[in-house]
Amino acid sequence: MPAILHRRSFLAGLAGTFLGARSALSDTPNLLSSWNDGPARQAILDFVKRVTAENGTDFVPPAARIAVFDNDGTLWAEQPIYFQLAFAVDRVKALAPQHPEWKDKEPFAALLKGDLKALAATGEKGLVDILTVTHAGMTTEEFGKIVTDWLAEAQHPRFHRGYDELAYQPMLELLAYLRANGFKTFIVSGGGVEFMRAFAERTYGIPPEQVVGSSGVVKFEMGADGVPRLVKEARVEFIDDGPGKPVGINRFIGRRPIFAFGNSDGDQQMLQWTAAGQGARFMGLIHHTDADREWAYDRQSHIGKLDKALDEATAKGWTVVDMKNDWNQVFARGP
Amino acid sequence: MPAILHRRSFLAGLAGTFLGARSALSDTPNLLSSWNDGPARQAILDFVKRVTAENGTDFVPPAARIAVFDNDGTLWAEQPIYFQLAFAVDRVKALAPQHPEWKDKEPFAALLKGDLKALAATGEKGLVDILTVTHAGMTTEEFGKIVTDWLAEAQHPRFHRGYDELAYQPMLELLAYLRANGFKTFIVSGGGVEFMRAFAERTYGIPPEQVVGSSGVVKFEMGADGVPRLVKEARVEFIDDGPGKPVGINRFIGRRPIFAFGNSDGDQQMLQWTAAGQGARFMGLIHHTDADREWAYDRQSHIGKLDKALDEATAKGWTVVDMKNDWNQVFARGP
């Protein structure tokens, strides 16, 4: 939630809305089988081989095999708007019958009418109001259930399937491959931590305690009934994006990753932080180059802008995945 | 660091300064061998049996076997002052030669002279100044090394051994026993997260990513040399104590523990939060009742005050460990 807030482009993204796992085993022939033979796949295989060879100079003990992944645009798609924003929009619509006053109150009136111009005019205050009614004022457990229920019902406007079915098959294979080689896999994302935890274990095999994300303030309350509650408040606590990502890694994980994957400039500092450690390192970026099967965007995109990080990756020889050429399959269920 | 700040009693504790692993295997006869046969040991064994019996009504899958432990007074001793405060005091002394101005500047002058009355008079501002010079203004990696070096040298004033040798042997056995039964063990402590991470893996077998604690603000900086750094700032970010403990559990772990152990009123909300979940639960408190081998303190103590939580434990039938009677050994190396 707060990460959306942080990204200037949310209204452009919001506007877009209305327009519209197999597991890999180490050392088996079909590991990473959705990856075409090429430099990206080879770089992954080479790196894992180097850090797991017990007598090699680059050996890393399993406890230190920390791998971090951005979520939006890296593990699942992020177009035409961040999926968490799609959730917020759907949630406003679902709540509208209980809020007749929203008919005349911005940003809700514009959102409910689909009046994109008026919605955009509400600016950042409009977004904060939307996030407040959709992400705060309930317990953490109630919120988790709302997200789970939404995921079970909501359909992506282009692919007409559940949002969690838009996880990238090659990345699911990569996660499984790393875990099979002793890595501990983490999400480090600008997305809301409680939003992601609602599906990360089921979708990616990543348990809640290995999800790092943006968060709002949560407060402990003892109810008059003697039942304690954790209540989500409408205040940003932490933005896990850009320079916040190494900070989040330090805070939640407490040691530096040796493997990091992102897809946008918001991941640049995470990749820099990973790269600056001693010993063997892997830094990867997904370049969205496939308008037919997914989307093609980079330097000019409002969502998932990839510009400075792409330059740095090129200059420093980080691995850049060309989605069109490096992946023979994008989603688990075609294309 | 911030937890110390939070506790009103720090100056009383600070004054005190100047006055002065075996592993258990599941289902083996000598598991929990430092625990005397009695209700506390039996309650632990019964609980673990219940939640691990695959066909039982209380079965909990391994992924949900989350166990949380307070640190000070629960996993290691906390007298005569919190060990992290002893670190801060020693650090001021070590830095003093580089700061001749401290001779005339409070709180440093009082601390260096051992003038407890003058030190106490500096109040909370004095403590903040001490924490600022000892816990901020360096990178996270530099801080970790300072703590590690201190632990290798510093001696506890009563027991004349390293502070990390004052971990409780019965609790080390309990941690190992739980892990052998599929539990994931976490620290959830008011202590500084980066302080604890410097020794938690070596001392307790708990990796950095399973340590939840209080924290200061950390900032990402890209150096002119192109090397990124995480710098510790002199601002409190999060106090993982009292009602902050369930909040910290939610933030870092993302699911409710089924097993929680503490020793003071600062653990009460963590125990309440654990107790309020569905299914089998274990809530434990260590009662320091052994002045000969360790210390005896509870309702009136400035450090580790155990008053309201003891009443609640009694009323609700939580397990209260009577250190004197329940433990046949306190530290790994007598008594």
Q: For A295-310, what is the HEC assignment? A: CEECCCCCCCCCCHHH
Can you tell me the distance from the alpha carbon of B206 to that of B1, in angstroms, rounded to the nearest whole number? 20
- A contact test, residue of B251, B269, B283 with most A CBs within 10 A: B251
Peptide bond between residue A228 and the one before it cis (omega within 30 degrees of 0):
no
SS3 B73: coil
DSSP B114: T
CA distance B127 to chain A (A): 24
Mean pLDDT score across all residues of chain A: 92
Interface of A with B in 265-294 (CB under 8 A): 269, 272-273, 276
Note whether B201 contacts A244, CB cutoff 8 Å. Answer: no
- CA nearest B86: which of B18, B168, B6? B18
* Closest residue in chain B to residue A184, using alpha carbons only: B209
Whether residue A287 contacts residue A296, with contact meaning beta carbons closer than 8 Å, is answered with no
Cβ atoms A188, A70 nearer than 8 A: yes
Q: What is the pLDDT of residue A333?
A: 81
Q: Where are the beta strands (DSSP E) in A42-126?
A: 66-69
% of chain A beyond a pLDDT of 90: 86
pLDDT at A3: 52
Spatial distance between the Cα atoms of A52 and A42, rounded to a whole number of angstroms:
15
Q: Does B138 touch chain A (CB under 8 A)?
A: no
All residues of chain B having their beta carbon less than 8 Å from the beta carbon of residue A148 are none
Q: Are A5 and A130 in contact (CB under 8 A)?
A: no
Residues of chain B with pLDDT under 70: 1-30, 335
Which chain A residues are closer than 8 Å to B252 by Cβ?
209, 252
For chain B, list the strands marked E by DSSP.
Answer: 66-69, 184-192, 211-222, 228-238, 259-262, 282-289, 296-297, 319-322
Residue A252 token pair: 């939640």
> How do residues A83-104 score in pLDDT, each as one tens digit?
999 999 999 999 999 999 999 9
**Is the CB of residue B202 less than 8 Å away from at least one CB of chain A?**
no
Task: Calculate mean pLDDT across residues A58-72.
Answer: 98
Question: Mutate which of A68, A206, A230 to disrupt the B interface (most B C-beta within 10 Å)?
Answer: A230
Phi, psi angle pair for B322, to nearest 5°: -90, 100
Q: For B297, list phi and psi in degrees, rounded to 5.
A: -165, 155
ipTM of the complex in this document = 0.90
Q: Picking from A1-10, A180-189, A268-277, B258-267, which range would have the lowest pLDDT averaged per residue?
A: A1-10
- Spatial neighbors of A307 by CB under 8 A, at least 6 apart, are A265, A298, A299
User: Which residue on chain A is closest to B271 by alpha carbon?
Assistant: A228
What is the Cα–Cα distance from A119 to A107, expressed in whole angstroms? 6
Mutation target to probe the B interface, by most B beta carbons within 10 A, among A138, A184, A209 is A209
A116-120, A268-272, B101-105: the lowest-pLDDT one:
A116-120
Amino acid at position B248, single letter: G
A148-168: per-residue pLDDT in tens?
A: 999 999 999 999 999 999 999
Size of interface A-B (CB pairs under 8 A): 90
For A167-212, how does the pLDDT look when each residue is reduced to its tens digit (9 = 90+)? 999 999 999 999 999 999 999 999 999 999 999 999 999 999 999 9
Span A15-26, average pLDDT: 39
Distance of CA A296 to the CA centre of its chain: 18
How far does A201 lie from chain B, in Å, by closest CA?
A: 10
Question: Residue A283 contacts by C-beta under 8 Å, 6 or more apart in sequence?
Answer: A260, A261, A271, A274, A275, A313, A316, A318, A319
Give me the pLDDT at residue B59, please: 98
**Strands B319-322 and B282-289: what pairing?**
parallel
Chain B residue with CA closest to A141: the answer is B255
In angstroms, rounded to a whole number, what is the distance separating the alpha carbons of residues B276 and B228?
43
pLDDT at B20: 36
Confidence tier at A21 by pLDDT (50, 70, 90): very low
Q: Which residues of A252-281 are buried (b: 16+ CB within 10 A; e: fewer)?
A: bbbbbbbbbbbbbbbbbbbbbbbbbeeebb
The residue among A59, A18, A38 whose CA lies nearest residue A279 is A59
Q: pLDDT at position A19, please?
A: 38
Helical (H) or strand (E) element with A238 = strand A228-238
